[in-house]
Structure 1
């Protein structure tokens, strides 16, 4: 086989016809579960102003430091979106969605782009789904976001998971904790990873996210933020736990859990699956009460989550979960001769209008080749059409699974299959 002249970009993968049904099935689940929670879909452009993304996700986050796909057009600077929380908040501010009244309950599905080294479950173009509640600081919003996230995974069929929970406090609590963390880390900073040393001044809490081996001994003994939460943050976190308990949602407090973005406050959470080995993260999110104002809106509380679709589909493969049914076509018209092909072409629309999926051979092949093609297409029935059938007005309807045949008019076929 000749080497193709053109190929897809490294880290950008074609979703081929054999794969697309499970993507559609997953998207359907997300749409249906979001509707049950009364969330509305939002779709934003894949390209955003560079300043929005850099401001929204913080200069020292992995997303920025690992490189993003950036473009220039005249004096304007753009990036392909690496995440969707900042774009959703930009849309909220730009279009004054707060004027719709109440909390805005939004969800999304779409592609993201990060110019990092491709790996299993994370390509340079990857897909996420997520949800945001903008306009409520009530712990109920936090718990509803978590419940929606979990419900989608349960609907998919993933039930063996663990919810990790933490509070990263409000700005006052965070500053107090950061100082305590710096005081603890500083004597051993030269022994820690280069990335952690860079994070030390800007946001030492991100050091708790480090996976570098040389950092782990210091992270394990680090102060925990719960000891530095003020009264408001403590009360909020206790309410979140209380509501989760009431819903029967199990969780584990992880004092070292911090979200990857700089704008998070209070609740932080992550969903993991012990069935997935080292790459166990399924989804994560938290509260980001500072972001709307930072992007130019009025101070507005918000909470949300995001999840990788590729990672979820890999989990389905590893857990032997089938999202999509086997592809079938209701009826395949097998044609013998030009008159039969003309008849089939004009009657295909009638079969489709009757609610059937229907197709025919496009190559003028032999009956044997057409029957083989119908079998490959997993056709439930074939209708055999030749000169004799056209003259008599009756056609051979063959049940491909049971090898039964009947001679019926076209109207009788539609009635039988409809």
Structure 2
């Protein structure tokens, strides 16, 4: 359920349960009856008919005149048929049946059904007004049509209690429906907010990647500019030196283009102070990350099968480092004391696989807040690098993080 389906459901209505409208409150705007509506209306009709028949039988046993008895039966039958209109005109129908039941007791069952429908489909003020009128009518009815078989006081108390019970039941049903509507609205808002937070996390991850690429490209383009300037100012340099400078320029331009292809479509946010000028990690610095985690008290097992980390493309190495860093951070927060295993496999042409896993924590864990945005950012980073990332719980209750990244041959 959303506001598009029920445009009258506004936050102000949710804040005040006395004025909140529910689906079906506006009878003329109500959609067609469902199967459930037909069943409920049929049960209500049969209930009103049963009460009317019992009251008519009691009137006959009390010796009521035949003409009055026939009139009572006709009024009761019409009142029972009018129950089918209770969803469209609950206020008018309830007011009419209250007056009719004061004179014709056989309409009492239909009057009770209309009061229940009124309490369900209308706010407190009209229910309180007509409910007070119904209580007065229930108290006055034994005096208008006395029953010689029972005392007047008993009839008054029974009638008033019956009216109050029906009104209370209807208001309870309405309150429960209001609660359901409010909870659904709150769930819709929470879902929308979660979607916005996920989009924001993806945008921040893209911006962080763009900042990293900016630093790397700036370094390579600066190197390219230096060697090109040397060739410009030393046209008489030895051929070997010219060839070496040209090779550096070519390699730097090629690597810069490779990195640039990875961030096509990524918007770069304005530079945030000195954050973008820090040295960028690579696969070769993974050992330092593990050593730092061990110094912090973690038990970490590093299984790195890459013999020459420097041969791994810098962008791929950075992504592996960030994945391992996030995996160690999550394990430190959510599984303190558990042994973490970091596995790196792969080679040129087959790609690079990084796997971070930890078992379930051995003892109680203090609740640490986490939004999951780190994993969203890692997924975005791996996707932009041409790979993919998976994460989730393991069968033993632990957590695993696995990613594959391309490594050109």
TM-score by length of 1: 0.20
The structure whose residues are more often helix, as a share, is 2
Looking at CA atoms only, which structure, 1 or 2, has the larger radius of gyration? 2
The structure whose residues are more often strand, as a share, is 1
TM-score by length of 2: 0.20
